[in-house]
Amino acid sequence: MNLPQFEFIQPRSVEETCDLLKKHGEEATLLAGGTALIVYLRYRLKKPKVVIGLKGLTGLNYLSQQKEGLTIGSMVTLETLERSPMIFHGYPPLNSAIQQIAVPPVRNQATLGGNICLENRCIFYNQSEFWRKTQGPCLRLGGGVCYAVEKGKRCQAVYSGDLAPLLIALNAKVKILSAQRERTLPLADFFTGRGEKPNILNQDELLTEIQIPLTEPGVGYAYEKLRVREGMEFPMAGVAVRIKRGENGTIEQIKIVLGAVGTAPIEVTKASDLLVGQKFDDKILEEFSNQAMEAARPVGNQIMNSEYRRKMVGVLTKRALRRAWAMTEKRESS
């Protein structure tokens, strides 16, 4: 499939990029590593007149550990993160989550910013223009119905990025820039929950930085992913957890975030409220697992039906919690 015609501009600075975004508005789209965008263009899911390449923005290619935590420029590639000793030793579950994304050649190009800004996916939308013509446009492409579910009245395309759930569990923030202003907000607030417009970025805005606060002593975290094959696969479900061990082996804090089972990452809110102060045991694992299954909104497809995916959310929640809890034990004794 050929690429459509567009003008390609490669700015040299963040300021120039913001000016271009302001000038071209709706007609422009950003290209970071291109591993997702080039597919959108080939499938004619996006038809921009102008593509703004971000590769020249060397100022967004940094990774730095400070007192408050880790700051990562949005143009840092997943491969750089995976190979960084800072991440490998300081944030091992993040390293492991990155390794589960696609395959090494994709991670070599793919950026963290692009991963967070991924468009939502669905079995109908993520197909060629030719294939889509068999049914006519869906809600997201200007039609009146969502084909992902029967007689869907709203777009049910799923947010399928692997890293956002774990970063939300870690209370990460994102920095967003436009020609007019800069804003920093919790990553959890970055997502809209609308399949057709998954994040809050305005047309003239650029994601520039991801901030991960330092994890306190006694904290453990983990990410578990369900996929069809061990390589090259978006998640069919993902579960990220962050847990803090209190005195006498009780749970002091807990956060569970689900990925790929809804139009945005889903925070399992009840988990943190009800079960704090209790002992970490099989009974509590069962309760967390049930809450996660209840919160999940999986959409079935030809590969895995929604009930199976929901059940797997429960299984992954238990696995992730066990791994995260084991990490709190290691950290206490080290």
Ligand X SMILES: Cc1cc2nc3c(=O)[nH]c(=O)nc-3n(C[C@H](O)[C@H](O)[C@H](O)COP(=O)(O)OP(=O)(O)OC[C@H]3O[C@@H](n4cnc5c(N)ncnc54)[C@H](O)[C@@H]3O)c2cc1C
Question: Judged by CB under 6 A, which of 18, 20, 24, 34 binds ligand X?
Answer: 34
In the complex with ligand X, the residue whose CB is nearer, 158 or 201, is 201
By C-beta, is 174 or 219 nearer to ligand X?
A: 174
188-207: contacts with ligand X (CB under 6 A): 201, 206-207
Of 70 and 167, which has the nearer Cβ to ligand X? 167
289 in contact with ligand X (CB under 6 A): no
- Three state DSSP letters for the chain: CCCCCCEEECCCCHHHHHHHHHHHHHHEEEECCCCCHHHHHHCCCCCCCEEEECCCCHHHCCEEECCCEEEEECCCEHHHHHHCHHHHHHCHHHHHHHHCCCCHHHHHHCEHHHHHCCCCECCCCCCCHHHHCCCCCCHHHCCCCECCCCCECCCCCECCCCHHHHHHHCCCEEEEECCCCEEEEEHHHHEEEECCEEECCCCCCEEEEEEEECCCCCEEEEEEEECCCCCCCCCCEEEEEEEEECHHHEEEEEEEEEECCCCCCEECHHHHHHCCCCECCHHHHHHHHHHHHHHCCCCCCCCCCHHHHHHHHHHHHHHHHHHHHHHHHHHHHC
CB of 79 to ligand X, least distance (A): 10
- Residues 14, 59 contacting (CB under 8 angstroms): yes
118 binds ligand X per the rule CB under 6 A: yes
210 contributes a contact to ligand X by CB under 6 A: no
Contact with ligand X (CB under 6 A) among 19, 233, 252, 287: 233
Least distance (Å) from ligand X to the CB of residue 8? 13
How far is the C-alpha of 138 from the C-alpha of 155, rounded, in Å? 8
Choose the binding region for ligand X from 27-35, 245-253, 280-288, 304-312 (rule: CB under 6 A): 27-35
| Region from 115-123, 212-220, 250-258, 269-277 binding ligand X, contact rule CB under 6 A | 115-123
Which is closer to ligand X, CB of 119 or CB of 196?
A: 119
Among 97, 101, 139, 292, binds ligand X (CB under 6 A): 101
Q: Residues 18, 28, 31, 316: which binds ligand X (CB under 6 A)? A: 31
| C-alpha torsion sign, points 202, 208, 209, 210 | positive
Q: Residues 21, 28, 70, 119: which binds ligand X (CB under 6 A)?
A: 119
| 33 is an interface residue for ligand X by CB under 6 A | yes
Q: How far is CA 135 from CA 24, 40, 146, 152, in A?
A: 32, 19, 11, 14
Site for ligand X in 144-183 (CB under 6 A): 161-162
Q: Is residue 110 a contact point for ligand X (CB under 6 A)?
A: yes
Stretch that binds ligand X, among 2-10, 34-42, 179-187, 322-330 (CB under 6 A): 34-42
Residue 36 contacts ligand X per CB under 6 A = yes
Task: Please report how close the Cβ of residue 162 comes to ligand X at its closest, in angstroms.
Answer: 4
Q: With binding defined as CB under 6 A, does residue 232 bind ligand X?
A: yes
**One residue of 20, 21, 28, 32 binding ligand X per CB under 6 A:** 32
Residues at the site binding ligand X, with contacts judged by CB under 6 A: 29-37, 74, 78, 101-102, 106, 109-111, 113-115, 117-119, 161-162, 201, 206-207, 232-234
